[in-house]
A and B are shown apart, each in its own frame.
Chain A
Amino acid sequence: MSTPDQQRPGAGDEDQGIAVVARTQGQLVRRRFFRHRLAMISLVVFVAILVLSFSSTGIGPIPGWWKHDYTTIGTVVDGGRPTLSVVPGFLGGDGIHLGEHPFGQDNKGIDYFALTMRGTQISLMIAFIVGGLGSFIGVLIGAAAGFFRGWTETILMRFTDVIIIMPLLAIVAVIANQAGNAGPFWLAVVIALFTWTGLARIVRGEFLSLREKEFVEAARAAGTPAWRIIRKHILPNTLGVILVSATLSLAGAVILETALSFLGFGVKPPDTSLGRLVSVYQGAFVTRPWLFIWPGVFIVAIALTVNFIGDGLRDAFDPRQNKVRS
Chain B
Amino acid sequence: MLAFIVRRVIAAFGILLAGTFIAYVLVALSGDPLAQLRQSNEPGIEDRIANMTERLDLDTPVPLRYLKWLGGAAQCVVPFVGTCDLGQSVRGQDVSALLADAMVATLQLITVATVTAVIIGVLVGIVTALRQYTRLDYSATFASFVFVSLPIFWFAVLLKQYIAIDLNDWLADPTVSLPAAAIVGVISGLIWGSIVGGDRRRVLTSFAVAFVATGGALLLLSASGWFRSPGLGPVVVGVVGVAAAVGLTAVVAGFRYRNVLYAALATAGAGIVANLAFDPLLTDPTWGTLFLLLLLAVAVAVGIGYAIGGLQRRQAISTSVWVAVIMAFTITADRMLTAWDNYYEFVGGRVVATFGARTPNYDGGTWGNLLDTVTHLALPTLALMLVSLATYSRYTRASMLEVMNQDYVRTARSKGLTDRTVIVRHALRNGLIPVTTLVAFDLAGLIGGAVITETVFGWQGMGFMFVEALRNTDPNPAMAFFLVTGIVAVLFNMLADIAYAYLDPRIRLG
Choose one: B151, B455, B471, B482; the contact of A166 (CB below 8 Å). Answer: B482
**What residues on B are CB-neighbors of A279 within 8 Å?**
153
A173 within 8 Å of B (CB atoms)? yes
Chain B facing A: main interface SS? helix
B145 touches A278 (CB 8 A): no
Binds B, one of A25-33, A60-68, A132-140, A304-312: A304-312
Choose one: B16, B401, B447; the contact of A167 (CB below 8 Å). Answer: B447
B467 within 8 Å of A (CB atoms)? yes
Instruction: Return the chain A residue nearest B157 by Cβ.
Output: A282
Choose one: A158, A166, A304; the contact of B146 (CB below 8 Å). Answer: A304
Binds A, one of B183-191, B207-215, B427-435, B483-491: B483-491
Interface residues on B, range: 35 or more
Q: Interface digits, A239-270 against B, CB 8 Å rule (1 contact, 0 not)?
A: 00000000000010001001100111100000
**Assembled-state Cα–Cα distance A165/B154 (Å):** 26
How far, in Å, is B90 (CB) from chain A's closest CB?
16
Choose one: B23, B152, B470; the contact of A265 (CB below 8 Å). Answer: B470
Chain A facing B: main interface SS? helix
**Assembled-state Cα–Cα distance A282/B156 (Å):** 11
B444 within 8 Å of A (CB atoms)? yes
Question: Which of the listed residues B26, B30, B150, B154 has the most CB atoms from chain A within 10 Å of its own CB?
Answer: B154
A285 touches B30 (CB 8 A): no
Interface residues of B in 1-57 (CB under 8 A from A): 11, 14-16, 18-19, 22-23, 26-27, 29-31
B489 touches A165 (CB 8 A): yes
**What residues on A are CB-neighbors of B27 within 8 Å?**
174
B153 touches A259 (CB 8 A): yes
B148 within 8 Å of A (CB atoms)? yes
Instruction: Return the chain B residue nearest A167 by Cβ.
Output: B448
**What residues on B are CB-neighbors of A308 within 8 Å?**
145
How far, in Å, is B421 (CB) from chain A's closest CB?
23
**Interface residues on chain A, number (Cβ under 8 Å):** 42
B478 touches A174 (CB 8 A): yes
Instruction: Return the chain A residue nearest B27 by Cβ.
Output: A174
Interface residues of B in 342-361 (CB under 8 A from A): none
B493 within 8 Å of A (CB atoms)? yes
A264 touches B471 (CB 8 A): yes
Choose one: A161, A278, A307; the contact of B149 (CB below 8 Å). Answer: A307
Binds B, one of A82-90, A212-220, A227-235, A292-300: A292-300
**What residues on A are CB-neighbors of B149 within 8 Å?**
251, 255, 300, 303-304, 307
Interface residues, chain B, CB within 8 Å of chain A? 11, 14-16, 18-19, 22-23, 26-27, 29-31, 145-146, 148-154, 157-158, 161, 401, 405, 444-445, 447-449, 451-452, 455, 466-467, 470-471, 478, 481-482, 485-486, 489-490, 493
Q: A169-B448, A263-B451 are in contact. List 15 more A-B contacts (CB 8 A).
A: A162-B15, A165-B444, A167-B482, A170-B451, A170-B485, A178-B30, A258-B154, A278-B154, A279-B153, A282-B157, A285-B161, A300-B150, A303-B150, A320-B401, A325-B405
Interface residues, chain A, CB within 8 Å of chain B? 158, 161-162, 164-171, 173-175, 177-178, 251, 255, 258-259, 262-265, 275, 278-279, 282, 285-286, 292, 296, 299-300, 303-304, 307-308, 311, 320, 323, 325
